Amino acid sequence: MSQQVRVRFAPSPTGPLHIGGVRTALYNYLFARKMGGKMLLRIEDTDQNRFVPGAEEYILESLRWVGIEIDEGQGIGGPHAPYRQSERKDIYRVEAERLVAEGKAYYAFDTADELDAMRKRLEAANAPAAQYNAITRMQMKNSLTLKPEDVKARIDAGDPYVIRLKTPRKEEVRLNDLIRGWVNVHSSAIDDKVLLKSDGLPTYHLANVVDDHIMGITHVIRGEEWLPSAPLHVLLYRYLGWESTMPQFAHLPLLLKPEGNGKLSKRDADLGGFPIFPLQWTDPFSGTVARGFREDGYLPEAVVNFLALLGWNPGTEQELFTMAELISSFDIAQIHKAGARFDIEKAKWFNHQYIRQRPNEELAPAVQQQAEANGLTCSADKAIKIAGLLKERVNFAHELFTEARTIFYTPEVYDETIAAAKWNADAVRAVTVFRDALQSFDGEFMADTIKHTLSDTLQQAGIKQGKIMQAMRLALTGSGTGPDLMLTMEIIGKDEVIKRLEQALETLKTPAS
Ligand code: GLU
């Protein structure tokens, strides 16, 4: 029997989760569900200098908002708890010390100044890479160059030290990325990375590998920015003796600027006036507020659909996917290698698709809130009708009110071009007879009764309906275009309709012929 798939999303709480991070979480989730596996959430907070209060809560809330369910991990619990790396310190130290004992890592005591001096020396000598490695380590202060008793004395005296990986000098490191294929790196390109820092906490590399192993992770699906670190991780699996159960890697394509060149940045979002964070975020230090997809009016299912297709597609024409459909179609083999252009217009298009599918009752509160904010009252019934009338025409629920301005407000101006073209003698007559008919109308003022009244009236007056409809709309709304006019009248209400027809007759100049 094959092993159960276990994947993890492993964000660092260094600020608001970037939308690219949400995509990473989503791909992990889709794969886990597709394979009947488990999705873990691990918080990688070993870099204490970059810790930002509130970021972890933000991550959890973002995942909840888009509908990514975690099976095991931070906020949920599970057999490998705790899932916050800062609470797992001792685990990493044991492994780092084991590597030292086995001759695969070493203690290094170099101060910041000494490291700096080394870098300068190497740069001055035009060394290809000024780094701590198989060659330079022998000129530095570490347990490979110092006598064992000196090393012990320093540690006993509490001298600060780090543990560094003893990278082999000449070895090929290979990994078969599920998206990119074989990646080969020569070990000389990997430096003697710090595994355990002087504050006793592990670096990302050590903690990540140790936890993925302990937590039984089968597939590491993460952003392309981690591809350069992957060979180092492979080396660590080898040194730790875990190569046979090493997870498979899949490095996701970058999210590119809207123009398609270079990596998407916060600056692009600010310039373009669009969000790149799932939720609004207030920076706890500066108080700066960054906009979020949620607060900007995007529906979570639209964001999910948009993100799913940013770097993957199932090879069909289908564009609209529910989460369940995404799960059943998802396949790592269909993830693209090339970066994915972040096109906010596409996100709006998806939102439009989901807004129009939303029940009117769910969109109505947005109309009521905006009406209220504009000093108007709007009954739930009216708001529901407005949502039904206009949802095809908007990308966001908050745009419904703007679209409905002609319903809420009596026209103050009339489109001059339409007036010049359509406000003729027939139009005046049509508006007049229709107004008269409405004055004696005592049925239920509904779109279809209005429609019958209008066509009967016009027929009796011998006026062709097609010729005067734009003028009728102009009289009622001030504009030549808009949604279904009968429904619009129903929502406006009989008295207001009559009032508007009268105002139009008074305001619009009576044409000569
Ligand atoms: N903590 C890393 C991050 O914030 C995780 C990278 C990985 O998934 O290995 O992106």
Whether 212 and 65 share a structural domain: yes
Ligand 1 centre and the CA of 12: distance in Å? 7
**Residue 12 CB less than 6 A away from ligand 1:** yes
Give the SS3 label for residue 166: coil
**Residue 250 CB less than 6 A away from ligand 1:** no
Q: What is the pLDDT of residue 202?
A: 97
What is the domain-level CATH number for residue 133?
3.90.800.10
Residue pair 279/58 in contact (Cβ under 8 Å)? The answer is: yes
Whether 421 and 451 share a structural domain: yes
Nearest to 224 by CA among 327, 301, 310, 291: 310
Whether 57 and 127 share a structural domain: no
Whether 212 and 192 share a structural domain: no
> Residue range 284-297: average pLDDT?
96
Q: Which residues contact 368 (CB under 8 A, 6 or more apart)?
A: 378, 380, 383
Determine the Cα–Cα distance for residues 216 and 194; give it in Å rounded to an integer: 24
Q: Which two tokens stand for residue 37?
A: 């596996």
Give the SS3 label for residue 433: helix
Whether 129 and 178 share a structural domain: yes
Q: Among residues of the chain, what percentage have pLDDT more than 70?
A: 99
The answer to whether the predicted template modeling score (pTM) of the entire model surpasses 0.75 is yes
- Establish if 130 belongs to a structural domain: yes
Q: Which ligand 1 atom is the nearest neighbour of the CA of 208?
A: 9
What confidence tier does 196 reach under pLDDT thresholds 50, 70, 90? very high
- Establish if 30 belongs to a structural domain: yes
- Establish if 261 belongs to a structural domain: no
> Residue range 273-285: average pLDDT?
96
Task: Identify which of 39, 47, 208, 255 to mutate to test ligand 1's pocket (most ligand atoms within 8 A of the CB).
Answer: 208
Q: Among residues of the chain, what percentage have pLDDT more than 90?
A: 93
Whether 68 and 30 share a structural domain: yes
Range of the domain at 433: 410-507
Whether 173 and 241 share a structural domain: no
Select the more confidently predicted residue: 217 or 134.
217
Q: What is the pLDDT of residue 94?
A: 98
Please state whether the peptide bond connecting residue 511 to the residue before it is cis, i.e. omega within 30 degrees of 0: no
Q: What is the pLDDT of residue 108?
A: 98
Whether 189 and 93 share a structural domain: yes
- Establish if 265 belongs to a structural domain: no
- Establish if 403 belongs to a structural domain: no
Q: What is the pLDDT of residue 512?
A: 52
Domain total of the chain = 3
pLDDT over 90 (residue 367): yes
Question: In this predicted model, what pLDDT tens digit does every residue of 413-468 receive, in sequence order?
Answer: 999 999 999 999 999 999 999 999 999 999 999 999 999 999 999 999 999 999 99
Ligand 1 centre and the CA of 167: distance in Å? 22
Torsion sign (Cα): 394, 400, 402, 408: positive
Residue pair 205/233 in contact (Cβ under 8 Å)? The answer is: yes
Last residue of a domain, one of 196, 215, 234: 196
Task: Identify which of 6, 44, 255 to mutate to test ligand 1's pocket (most ligand atoms within 8 A of the CB).
Answer: 44
pLDDT over 60 (residue 484): yes
Q: Which two tokens stand for residue 59?
A: 């991550």
Q: What is the pLDDT of residue 77?
A: 97
> Residue range 481-489: average pLDDT?
97
Give the SS3 label for residue 176: strand
Ligand 1 centre and the CA of 34: distance in Å? 22
Ligand 1 centre and the CA of 461: distance in Å? 75
**Residue 222 CB less than 6 A away from ligand 1:** yes
Question: In this predicted model, what pLDDT tens digit does every residue of 27-86 receive, in sequence order?
Answer: 999 999 999 999 999 999 999 899 999 999 999 999 999 999 999 999 999 999 999 999
Report the helix count and the strand count for the chain, using DSSP H and E.
21, 14
Question: In this predicted model, what pLDDT tens digit does every residue of 14-24 receive, in sequence order?
Answer: 999 999 999 99
Q: Which two tokens stand for residue 81?
A: 């708890």
Q: What is the pLDDT of residue 3?
A: 86
pLDDT over 90 (residue 171): no
Whether 69 and 211 share a structural domain: yes
**Residue 490 CB less than 6 A away from ligand 1:** no
Give the SS3 label for residue 507: helix
Ligand 1 centre and the CA of 21: distance in Å? 9
Helix H, strand E, coil C: the string for 434-476 is: HHHHHHCCCCCCCHHHHHHHHHHHHHHHCCCHHHHHHHHHHHH
Q: Which ligand 1 atom is the nearest neighbour of the CA of 8?
A: 8
Determine the Cα–Cα distance for residues 77 and 86; give it in Å rounded to an integer: 16
Protein residue with its CA nearest to atom 5 in ligand 1: 10
Indicate the helix (H) or strand (E) that contains 490: helix 485-492
Ligand 1 centre and the CA of 139: distance in Å? 33
Determine the Cα–Cα distance for residues 178 and 194; give it in Å rounded to an integer: 28
Determine the Cα–Cα distance for residues 319 and 331; give it in Å rounded to an integer: 16
Determine the Cα–Cα distance for residues 494 and 313; give it in Å rounded to an integer: 51
pLDDT over 80 (residue 2): no
Counted residue by residue, the chain has a size of 513
**Residue 28 CB less than 6 A away from ligand 1:** no
Q: Which ligand 1 atom is the nearest neighbour of the CA of 24?
A: 8
> Degrees (nearest 5) of the Cα angle 218, 223, 228?
90
Question: In this predicted model, what pLDDT tens digit does every residue of 117-135 receive, in sequence order?
Answer: 999 998 898 887 788 999 8
Last residue of a domain, one of 240, 256, 272: 256
**Residue 10 CB less than 6 A away from ligand 1:** yes
Whether 136 and 215 share a structural domain: no
Nearest to 204 by CA among 6, 10, 7: 10
Identify any residues that bridge with 282 across adjacent strands, giving them in sequence order: 289
Determine the Cα–Cα distance for residues 102 and 95; give it in Å rounded to an integer: 10
Q: Which ligand 1 atom is the nearest neighbour of the CA of 21?
A: 10
Q: Which residues contact 457 (CB under 8 A, 6 or more apart)?
A: 433, 434, 436, 437
Ligand 1 centre and the CA of 11: distance in Å? 5
Catalytic residues: 266
Task: Identify which of 83, 86, 226 to mutate to test ligand 1's pocket (most ligand atoms within 8 A of the CB).
Answer: 226
**Residue 395 CB less than 6 A away from ligand 1:** no
Determine the Cα–Cα distance for residues 494 and 272; give it in Å rounded to an integer: 44
Alpha helices in 240-379 (DSSP H): 266-272, 300-308, 323-329, 344-357, 360-373
Determine the Cα–Cα distance for residues 264 and 286; give it in Å rounded to an integer: 23
Ligand 1 centre and the CA of 482: distance in Å? 50
Question: In this predicted model, what pLDDT tens digit does every residue of 84-104 receive, in sequence order?
Answer: 999 999 999 999 999 999 999
**Residue 397 CB less than 6 A away from ligand 1:** no
Protein residue with its CA nearest to atom 2 in ligand 1: 11
Q: Which ligand 1 atom is the nearest neighbour of the CA of 12?
A: 4
- Establish if 170 belongs to a structural domain: yes
Protein residue with its CA nearest to atom 3 in ligand 1: 11
Determine the Cα–Cα distance for residues 461 and 173; give it in Å rounded to an integer: 89
Whether 430 and 497 share a structural domain: yes
**Residue 208 CB less than 6 A away from ligand 1:** yes
What is the domain-level CATH number for residue 437?
1.10.10.350
Whether 178 and 220 share a structural domain: no
Phi, psi of 162 (to 5 degrees): -120, 165
Nearest to 50 by CA among 15, 98, 74: 15
> Degrees (nearest 5) of the Cα angle 325, 328, 329?
85
What is the domain-level CATH number for residue 55?
3.40.50.620
- Establish if 415 belongs to a structural domain: yes
**Residue 226 CB less than 6 A away from ligand 1:** yes
**Residue 370 CB less than 6 A away from ligand 1:** no
Q: What is the pLDDT of residue 12?
A: 97
Ligand 1 centre and the CA of 457: distance in Å? 70
Determine the Cα–Cα distance for residues 187 and 166; give it in Å rounded to an integer: 11
CA distances (Å), origin 196, targets 206, 235, 325, 353: 8, 16, 43, 50
- Establish if 174 belongs to a structural domain: yes
